[in-house]
Amino acid sequence: MQTIATISLLVVAVLLIVVVLLMSGRSQGLGAIAGGAEQLFGRQKARGFDAVLNRTAAVLGTLFFILGLLVASF
């Protein structure tokens, strides 16, 4: 069981890295300091491929966290 969890953790980690690298950058430099709150409260909705990447990253991040706890408990 531990081997399966460890291999799953490594696969999820690699997939998470790939998904994060595929995401488009949203930083605005120093301009994000003043207007960054607009992004926090959902005024800019992701559409299309960005939305899929956001959801995939959230799911993979959750799986990574759960599998990390599972591997640590062994």
Residue 74 has a pLDDT of 85
Residue 24 has a pLDDT of 79
Give the C-alpha distances (Å, rounded to integers) separating 3 from 16, 45, 62, 65. 20, 39, 20, 17
Residue among 25, 26, 8 at smallest CA distance from 71: 8
pTM over 0.85: no
Residue 40 has a pLDDT of 52
Three-class SS state of 24:
coil
CB 59 within 8 A of CB 66: no
What is the residue-level pLDDT of the chain in tens, covering all 74 positions? 889 999 999 999 999 999 999 987 766 555 555 555 555 555 555 578 888 999 999 999 999 999 999 999 98
Residue 50 has a pLDDT of 86
